[in-house]
Structure 1
Amino acid sequence: MRKWLVWLTWIPASAGMTLVAQAAQVRAADGGAMSVPLPGAAAGDAARGRAIVANRQVGLCLLCHTGPIPEERFQGDLAPDLAGAGDRSTAAQLRQRLVDAGSMNPATIMPSYYKTDGLEKVGANFKGKTILTAQQIEDVVAYLQTLRAQPGAAP
């Protein structure tokens, strides 16, 4: 099972491939945080982000996570529930986790959706390509920021 999850890190984004070096520049310019959008990306769109999270051919998020997307069956339980993600994490933290999950938790099985270096056994046609584009990352961050705990519920 673990080998299969690692394979997910090699699925390319569909268009507009960019390098993780741009994300590193954002982090460096932002004092180590990722509170500004990735280079070349506009402000995120939550509706597009929800579609990416729900899409099993693009984001693959529901393979491991459960989320407040009732029309999608067979959601994962390997990772935290996405409900309340906007309460638990800032946009910068969510962006960092999506860009390079291993930088926040070296033992994570979550793929780094915007990383191209430091990967092992990457097929030649996937080298230098990211899973999601910078814009897709921003859209997912925008969606996750909308996921707040219900009033009266513990975050």
Structure 2
Amino acid sequence: MSVPILAGALLALPGGAAAQELRSYTIIGDGIPQSLTDTAGDATRGRALVIERSSTCILCHSGPFPEQKFQGDLAPDLSGSGSRASEGQLRLRLVDASRLNAATIMPSFYRVDGLDRVVTPWRGKPILSAEQIEDIVAYLVSLRE
């Protein structure tokens, strides 16, 4: 299933970061097997994003982040995530976890269509850029048990 999201727009993310246009992707089974950027992400940048509270990951998830005193306990521990899920499965969970579980409380980090109750500064903007998604995927894949 190919999912075109939004074409031809340059999006400004809150906080001043600019994202390139949203790219289309193909869901196969329970994952998105191809990179959103056609390049591998950077695991070091991905880790920094995961532990940054504004990305929201650590608000719900815990993991191998000894420097972070307060970690979430609403969602699965990210330790060993690379052993439990493939790169494509992790990518779909970040892009739009609601495709796998309509009742999830996990945000759709790379989706702008069909969302209700989005505050004005975020309307039409993804939470993360395609590059950020790939960086986080690279980091999560590296977490092996």
Q: TM-score range by the shorter chain?
A: 0.7 to 0.9
Is the Cα contact below 8 Å between 1:95 and 1:138 reproduced in 2? yes
Greater RCO (Cα-Cα under 8 Å, separation 6 or more):
1
Q: How many angstroms does 1:122 deviate by?
A: 2.0
Q: Is the 8 Å Cα contact of residues 17 and 129 (structure 1) preserved in structure 2?
A: no
Note the 1:24-103 alignment, pairs <5 A.
Answer: 25-27=24-26, 33-38=31-36, 40=37, 42-57=39-54, 59-103=55-99
Mapped to 2, the partners of 1:55 and 1:70 lie a distance apart of 13
Please say if residues 31 and 90 of structure 2, whose CA atoms lie closer than 8 Å, have aligned partners that are also in contact: no
TM-score (norm 2): 0.83
Identity of aligned residues (%): 53
Partner of 1:5: none
- For residues 79-126 of structure 1, the C-alpha deviation after alignment (integer angstroms, 9 at most, x for no partner) is 000001000000000000000010011111000100101111223332
Give the TM-score normalised by structure 1: 0.78
**In the alignment, what sits opposite 1:15?**
18
Q: 1:43 Cα shift?
A: 1.1
Mark the runs of 5 or more structure 1 residues left unpaired by the alignment: 1-10, 150-155
Show structure 2 runs of 5+ residues with no match. Answer: 1-12
Give the count of matched residue pairs: 132
Q: Note if 1:115 corresponds to 2:111.
A: yes
